[in-house]
Amino acid sequence: MWGKVNGVVTLSLVLSSCFLQVSAEPVPPDPDQAIGRSLSIIRSATAEKPQVLKILFYGQSISSPAWTDPAIAALRVKYPNVAFVYRNLALGGWSAVLLEQAVARDVEEVYPDLIVFHVYGDHRAYERIIRTLRSKTAADIIIQTDHVVNPLEPVCDTGFHLQWSPPEGCTGHFWFKQKSWEEFMSSVWKPAMAAKYDLALEPRRQRWNAYLQENNLQIADLLADPPHPNAEGWALMANLFTSWIEELVDHSQNNGRNTSDQVRSFTAPVPGEKTRYEFYGNRAELIAAGPLDGKVNLTIDGKPPRELDGCWQTSRVTGLPNVPEWPALKKVDVRQSYREEDVWTLRVRNLDTSQESFDFDVESARTGAEGSGSGKDVFKSRSGNVTLQPDAWNFSYAKLISGKGLADEQSFQWERRFVCGDEPPTALANGSVQQRHVLGTGLPNAHHVIELTVPSDTPAILELRAYRPPLVE
């Protein structure tokens, strides 16, 4: 009998050593460190020296202007010496698998100082989006846990256990995993991503649940059509974000991590003299007190900006009439070395009932007719400048969501733009403006040499700023 018992014990020990996870759970970084540069910008702003913080809100319908607009309004009141310049490019209804097709284009267009991100869906696609954000920009990043749609459950100790019945929060027999996907993403996966990629983790979920308990509310009291909040829920979402930011700003024990490797400031050029700069990264700007277009003579690695592929970007495709906030295609591939301003028009015909099958024609404002194609096939334009993939179309999904289809002969457009030069100026609290002049962007994340000259009548230049994404893909 004792031999059988010893055999069971031995087998148990072997199985335990093979399957049990003994490493500690990853710990997210202190937000004061993870978004240190953004917090430093807010903390250092004064009436005499106002600052600019450029923010991108990104994700799907939970990243709605219903909360982001009032959140920015509140931050502007709280910190009047900071110009909060923001864009919301969230795409409602797009899970992580869909959003990852659009993220590179979207984030390169904005190139923000701070990204605030939330999306539902596949955890692997979620990580691929994070990697894109980390490799395309030097931005600080906040990822947000899910607000409460279902009751919170304990975090499951996942893996193999010598136990048939799963404990609370777990599902399975012997091999346990988190029962709720919402809890897995918010309490397991997102903290792991924050630790792996140095992201700030906003504890929206825990704070939302605390609000429910403190005010004796049911989960449904803050929801309209789950998972979407009602008016009180949107207001709470804005308040949770702004109050968290305010707490971090007030926590001035550490005035932000050293960001010299990611965002580096160089002395402004002397007017009338050629200045040489060397930097590592994928973007460089001049920060000035007025417009610089036509006044900067420069090369990057021996090339003028118009010969740099990254200075040419492609817009989103125009929106669908049945879901106006959605572009007609998730992604359009334009040949990277196509360095010309152009506008393409796509006309759709022969749509079937499901809108999965259709034909189309493409025309370029510069090169003329570019050919015809089918929605089920890869399309390559006659010039070789444009490629469209079958999985890029949004027609059938838009009909499924809206209940409305497109009519034949509907047309959509996208364009190729030169983006190196003056961005729109930002008005500052002291009556002046900040002008960001893009010298080069979309560069390989590597070593570069800039040589530039500006004339004596150039508006005051404060610095040259170079950006180095922390991840090289």
Give 186-240 pLDDT, tens digit per residue.
999 999 999 999 999 999 999 999 999 999 999 999 999 999 999 999 999 999 9
Would you place residue 4 in the very low, low, confident or very high pLDDT band (cuts 50, 70, 90)?
very low
b/e burial code for range 365-401 (CB count within 10 A of at least 16 → b): eeeeebeebebeeebebeeebbebeeebbbbbbbbee
Q: Are strands 275-288 and 433-453 parallel, antiparallel or unpaired?
A: antiparallel
> What are the CA-CA distances from residue 158 to residues 152, 175, 178, 181 (Å)?
17, 7, 7, 13
Mean pLDDT calculated for residue range 117-134: 98
Per-residue model confidence (pLDDT) at position 26: 83
Per-residue model confidence (pLDDT) at position 256: 47
Whether the pLDDT of residue 399 is over 90: the answer is yes
Whether the pLDDT of residue 253 is over 90: the answer is no
Per-residue model confidence (pLDDT) at position 259: 52
Backbone angles phi, psi at 320, to 5 degrees: -80, 140
Contact 316, 327 (CB under 8 A): yes
Pick the range with the lowest mean pLDDT from 1-15, 47-61, 132-146, 359-373: 1-15
What count of other Cβ atoms lies within 10 Å of the Cβ of residue 188? 18
pLDDT tens track for 294-317:
999 999 999 999 999 999 999 999
Per-residue model confidence (pLDDT) at position 9: 39
Q: What angle do CA 161, 166, 167 make, to 5 degrees?
A: 100
Per-residue model confidence (pLDDT) at position 449: 98
Would you place residue 21 in the very low, low, confident or very high pLDDT band (cuts 50, 70, 90)?
very low
Mean pLDDT calculated for residue range 233-260: 83
Per-residue model confidence (pLDDT) at position 23: 42
DSSP bridge pairs for 143: 117, 201
Contact 179, 169 (CB under 8 A): yes
Mean pLDDT calculated for residue range 404-433: 97
Per-residue model confidence (pLDDT) at position 254: 52
Whether the pLDDT of residue 434 is over 60: the answer is yes
Residues 6 or more apart in contact with residue 402 via CB below 8 angstroms: 322, 323
Per-residue model confidence (pLDDT) at position 6: 46
Whether the pLDDT of residue 471 is over 80: the answer is yes
DSSP bridge pairs for 366: none
Whether the pLDDT of residue 7 is over 70: the answer is no
What count of other Cβ atoms lies within 10 Å of the Cβ of residue 48? 8
pLDDT averaged over every residue in the chain: 93
Rounded distance between C-alpha atoms, residue 434 and residue 213, angstroms: 45
Per-residue model confidence (pLDDT) at position 25: 75
Whether the pLDDT of residue 20 is over 50: the answer is no
Helix (H, G, I), strand (E, B) or coil at 286: strand
Whether the pLDDT of residue 19 is over 80: the answer is no
Residue with the bigger pLDDT between 19 and 425: it is: 425
Per-residue model confidence (pLDDT) at position 18: 41
Would you place residue 261 in the very low, low, confident or very high pLDDT band (cuts 50, 70, 90)?
confident
Token pair, residue 4, equals: 């059988």
Whether the pLDDT of residue 12 is over 70: the answer is no
Per-residue model confidence (pLDDT) at position 260: 53
Whether the pLDDT of residue 28 is over 90: the answer is yes
pLDDT tens track for 332-378:
999 999 999 999 999 999 999 999 999 999 999 999 999 999 999 99
Whether the pLDDT of residue 466 is over 70: the answer is yes
Residue with the bigger pLDDT between 409 and 26: it is: 409
Per-residue model confidence (pLDDT) at position 438: 98
